[in-house]
Structure 1
Amino acid sequence: MDEQIITNELLKRYLQGKCTVAEQQLIADFLDDPNNLILLHQIMAEQTNSLWDSSADVPQHDRGQITVWQRRLHERMEEEQLIPSDKTKPNLRKRGIIPIRQRIQWYAAAILLFVGLGALLWLWIPQGAKPSEQLVHQKNRITPGSDRAILKLADGSTISLSDAAKGSIADQGGVKVQKTAEGEIVYAAVDKRASTQSYNSINTPNGGQYRVTLPDGSRAWLNAASSLTYPVEFEKKERRVKMTGEVYFEIAKITNENKERVPFFVETDKQVIQVLGTTFNVNAYADEPYDCTTLLEGSVRLVAAHSGKSELLKPGQQALVGNNMLLSEADIQQNLAWINGYFIFRREDLGGILRKIARWYDVTVECPPELSTMKFTGKVSRSQSLSAVTEMIASINKVKLEIKERRIIVKK
């Protein structure tokens, strides 16, 4: 199917001041990137002349608004010293920016600025979309997830971490569990009575997330609908944990009496990851087609449970493990967006997007198979309400999203 930039109807709504508050709330985030300012300025400068010369039927008030916003953008760039001279204009390819002039119509290019200022850049919209009423609002506002988790102790008792007071919350055979002022769980050994056979686990529900400092000083951030099981005290020869869902790890570098690194192992249903001091993210949700491990620093070795295949992952790479194992360059920004409080989608299936939304907002989704394969690109804060996020998706004029109680119903 042919693709084009975001529909002119949405652009016109912005020009006329008719965009929703949700669409405007990410303006600052978009403009924080100097590359966006530079690229938008160049496109505006190059394409506006063709707008004036075109015989296309463009309303005069739209032309005037384009001129005003181009001037404002230029002034802002001058203030931030982002406008280079003619001799020092940046090479877009060297800066890692892909020129987009070749794939946008002159009208969309001339007012692309307003898309960026509209808070969310929904790209790759199927051509021929018609305006429609996309979203049926609900009275009950569904809020985003928060720091919520259940800690299961070695004796089987459980503690609601969101309800627990700050300070010491458990003492397990000489290992104290404390909740910090920031809400993080920290383990501290006070004597040697702890047994290596004692295990704790943290479980986040749909709509929850949490962070924990493990007994060895390693740190883990759990996304929604995730779990992490670990010993109250690690063995001296190795450190081993089990997880489900999605967890971001920062592994502490530990050496034994021979000054050798003590390896750290992460087990999922599909793989075993061997780690030496490393920072990485593991997405291992059962409803996803594969586990995705993204390496930021250090090195990890992955062994696929199904085939036994082993691969060494380098920083900046990701491994997809299902029936097979595939290594490729990772989109770090997208894969780790949740840690920074965002959803970022780049040509992602609607089905995958809705699974992420369902976990974070603790809702269910009904989406026809033929719609679940539609591709979207966008960025939105995880702190937005559910209605704000679904409104962004519905703005492409191709799907309708109805929220009933805690269900998202997707229709043509």
Structure 2
Amino acid sequence: MSEVTFEELFRRYMSGALSAGEIRLFRSMALRPENKAKLSQLLQEAFDDPEYAEHADFDAGEMAEEIMMKAKQSEVIPVLHPARKPIVARSWFKYAAAAAIFLLLLAVSWEWNTRKRKNPVAPVAQTEQGTARPVLILGDGTRIALDSAANGAIAQQGSAQVIKLANGQLAYKQFSQENTGLVYNTMQTPNGCLYQLILPDGSHVWLNAASSIRYPAAFPDNKRMVEVSGEAYFDIAKDDKKPFIVTAKGMEVQVLGTAFNIMAYADEDAVKTTLVQGAVKVNAGRVLHPGEQAVLGVSGELVINKPAMEEILGWKNGEFNFKETNISTIMRQVSRWYDVEVKYEGDMSGIELSGIVARTATISQLLKALELTKIVRFKIQGRTITVMPYHEAN
């Protein structure tokens, strides 16, 4: 990698051919003063392509400055490209470059984007991320909307106070050692919302969109047990005397102190537990090691594999991260995040995409970028998105 040129990295970046390490190298090289003009020139060459004349009103120099500013902040510069092989290599690069440039623009600044574009794409009504709200359900069924709750103690559950922290997280503080019995709380995140929770033992939980976790306000002396639906990332406080157990859609994960991700959405055909660090035992049998994933399918068979960790943890890091991902899997994630219904027309089999897209993008931005690959096209009717092969839609 020491002899590779910035221009070569740029072209390979646009076509999605860089590894994670090479992407970091590309970003660091983009920050060098001598590459500022080069970056502007490369962007301008892509914008000059007649096939993408709709982007001609962008100033490549300004965009290059914005990209470098984002690189300094270590933000994701997203790329999107079709995973299947192109028929013509040159036309493939043009499609990939157009999609990548479009998404680079989105990551820079939506405000700047709408100011500079002549014909900005209107977002689907009320489908930008972050519009839905998380809810805490207390033991007696009381529902607390956490976005409108004031910071500080918001409820008392058994021997614990429920506290909303200044950073928006939820935590539990024991004020008595008296055994008041188990009182269960449930945290729910609807479509388009993430939330962080600190459990009574100090374990941290990140909940993905359309997910929930049920847990006691104070754990008993012998074990810590919670139930999850949807997707959650755990960073478990170590306690050798009190094993931590997560149940989700037929899978049971036992841990002492570790970090792992579990995905158990009702509309997915498998439950997946992916270990980041430490060790877990799945269904009282197989022990996972860091980087391994246990997959429990509808047949009940447990399969162990090694997935791309950056793809599994993309949601927690604020991005969609696809690696040769089937379009239906992509659109299920889109549906949860933007709270839309997805339908399909035509033969969608074999359509796979790879890339990284910031979750701060609006749905219209994301769909437009997908269309620039000339692999898929979308029809928007209210809150319903119809997906179809690109050429069948023309």
TM-score by length of structure 1 reads 0.67
Query: Which residue number in structure 2 is paired with residue 41 of structure 1?
Result: none
Are positions 1:325 and 2:309 aligned together?
no
Q: Give the direction of change, closer, same or farther, for the CA distance of 1:105–1:32 in structure 2 (3 Å limit).
A: closer
Query: Which residue number in structure 2 is paired with residue 149 of structure 1?
Result: 134
**8 Å Cα contact 2:121-2:365 kept in structure 1:** no
After superposition, residues 253-272 of structure 1 pair within 5 angstroms as 253-254=238-239, 260-272=240-252
Whole-Å Cα distance in 2 between the matches of residues 250 and 165 of structure 1? 26
Aligned amino acid, residue 315 of structure 1: P
Are positions 1:316 and 2:316 aligned together?
no
Aligned amino acid, residue 169 of structure 2: E
Partner of 1:353, secondary structure, is helix
**8 Å Cα contact 1:245-1:283 kept in structure 2:** yes
Partner of 1:229, secondary structure, is strand
**8 Å Cα contact 2:95-2:374 kept in structure 1:** no
> Can you list the C-alpha shifts for 1:368-394, whole angstroms capped at 9, x where unaligned?
372264111121111111101111111
Query: Which residue number in structure 1 is paired with residue 187 of structure 2?
Result: 202
Query: Which residue number in structure 2 is paired with residue 6 of structure 1?
Result: none
Query: Which residue number in structure 2 is paired with residue 294 of structure 1?
Result: 274
Partner of 1:387, secondary structure, is helix
Aligned amino acid, residue 286 of structure 2: E
Q: Give the direction of change, closer, same or farther, for the CA distance of 1:154–1:111 in structure 2 (3 Å limit).
A: closer
Are positions 1:251 and 2:236 aligned together?
yes
Between structure 1 and structure 2, the one with the greater Rg is 1
Q: Give the direction of change, closer, same or farther, for the CA distance of 1:35–1:293 in structure 2 (3 Å limit).
A: farther
Partner of 2:315, secondary structure, is helix
The unaligned stretches of length 5 or more in structure 1 are: 1-10, 15-28, 39-58, 63-68, 81-101, 121-134, 255-259, 304-308
Partner of 2:316, secondary structure, is helix
Return the offset for 1:205: 0.9
Aligned amino acid, residue 319 of structure 1: A
**8 Å Cα contact 1:152-1:202 kept in structure 2:** yes
Whole-Å Cα distance in 2 between the matches of residues 223 and 266 of structure 1? 16
Aligned amino acid, residue 143 of structure 1: E
Query: Which residue number in structure 1 is paired with residue 318 of structure 2?
Result: 341
Query: Which residue number in structure 2 is paired with residue 130 of structure 1?
Result: none
Are positions 1:366 and 2:346 aligned together?
no
Q: Give the direction of change, closer, same or farther, for the CA distance of 1:37–1:168 in structure 2 (3 Å limit).
A: closer
Are positions 1:211 and 2:211 aligned together?
no
Are positions 1:410 and 2:390 aligned together?
no
**8 Å Cα contact 2:293-2:305 kept in structure 1:** yes
Return the offset for 1:250: 0.4
Sequence identity (%)? 34
Whole-Å Cα distance in 2 between the matches of residues 111 and 348 of structure 1? 18
**8 Å Cα contact 1:137-1:403 kept in structure 2:** no
Q: Give the direction of change, closer, same or farther, for the CA distance of 1:115–1:321 in structure 2 (3 Å limit).
A: same
> Can you list the C-alpha shifts for 1:104-130, whole angstroms capped at 9, x where unaligned?
83676799877755546xxxxxxxxxx
Whole-Å Cα distance in 1 between the matches of residues 364 and 356 of structure 2? 15
**8 Å Cα contact 2:275-2:288 kept in structure 1:** yes
Query: Which residue number in structure 2 is paired with residue 392 of structure 1?
Result: 369
Query: Which residue number in structure 2 is paired with residue 193 of structure 1?
Result: 178
Q: Give the direction of change, closer, same or farther, for the CA distance of 1:283–1:382 in structure 2 (3 Å limit).
A: same
Q: Give the direction of change, closer, same or farther, for the CA distance of 1:148–1:223 in structure 2 (3 Å limit).
A: same
Query: Which residue number in structure 1 is paired with residue 76 of structure 2?
Result: none
Q: Give the direction of change, closer, same or farther, for the CA distance of 1:35–1:103 in structure 2 (3 Å limit).
A: farther
> Can you list the C-alpha shifts for 1:215-272, whole angstroms capped at 9, x where unaligned?
0000101111101000111111111000100000000012xxxxx4421000011210
Figure out how many residues of one structure are paired with residues of the other and give that number.
314
**8 Å Cα contact 2:103-2:369 kept in structure 1:** no
Give the superposed CA RMSD: 3.9
Aligned amino acid, residue 276 of structure 1: L
> Can you list the C-alpha shifts for 1:26-77, whole angstroms capped at 9, x where unaligned?
xxx9996215788xxxxxxxxxxxxxxxxxxxx9x87xxxxxx9xxx9xx99
**8 Å Cα contact 2:124-2:363 kept in structure 1:** no
Whole-Å Cα distance in 2 between the matches of residues 155 and 407 of structure 1? 36
Q: Which one of 320, 325, 328 corresponds to residue 351 of structure 1?
A: 328
Are positions 1:33 and 2:10 aligned together?
no
Whole-Å Cα distance in 2 between the matches of residues 111 and 225 of structure 1? 33
Q: Give the direction of change, closer, same or farther, for the CA distance of 1:381–1:168 in structure 2 (3 Å limit).
A: same
> Can you list the C-alpha shifts for 1:326-373, whole angstroms capped at 9, x where unaligned?
111121100000001000111111101000000011111111372264
Return the offset for 1:137: 5.2
Q: Give the direction of change, closer, same or farther, for the CA distance of 1:191–1:347 in structure 2 (3 Å limit).
A: same
> Can you list the C-alpha shifts for 1:288-335, whole angstroms capped at 9, x where unaligned?
0101111110000101xxxxx721110011111112111111211000
After superposition, residues 203-242 of structure 1 pair within 5 angstroms as 203-242=188-227
Q: Give the direction of change, closer, same or farther, for the CA distance of 1:215–1:114 in structure 2 (3 Å limit).
A: same
**8 Å Cα contact 2:190-2:211 kept in structure 1:** yes
Q: Give the direction of change, closer, same or farther, for the CA distance of 1:202–1:111 in structure 2 (3 Å limit).
A: closer
After superposition, residues 73-152 of structure 1 pair within 5 angstroms as 105=89, 117-119=101-103, 140=125, 142-145=127-130, 148-152=133-137
Whole-Å Cα distance in 1 between the matches of residues 213 and 277 of structure 2? 21
> Can you list the C-alpha shifts for 1:182-238, whole angstroms capped at 9, x where unaligned?
100000001123534211110111122211100000010111110100011111111
Aligned amino acid, residue 251 of structure 1: I
TM-score by length of structure 2 reads 0.70
Whole-Å Cα distance in 2 between the matches of residues 141 and 281 of structure 1? 29
Q: Give the direction of change, closer, same or farther, for the CA distance of 1:168–1:367 in structure 2 (3 Å limit).
A: same
Partner of 2:367, secondary structure, is helix
Whole-Å Cα distance in 2 between the matches of residues 356 and 291 of structure 1? 15
Aligned amino acid, residue 392 of structure 1: A
Q: Which one of 151, 154, 176 corresponds to residue 169 of structure 1?
A: 154
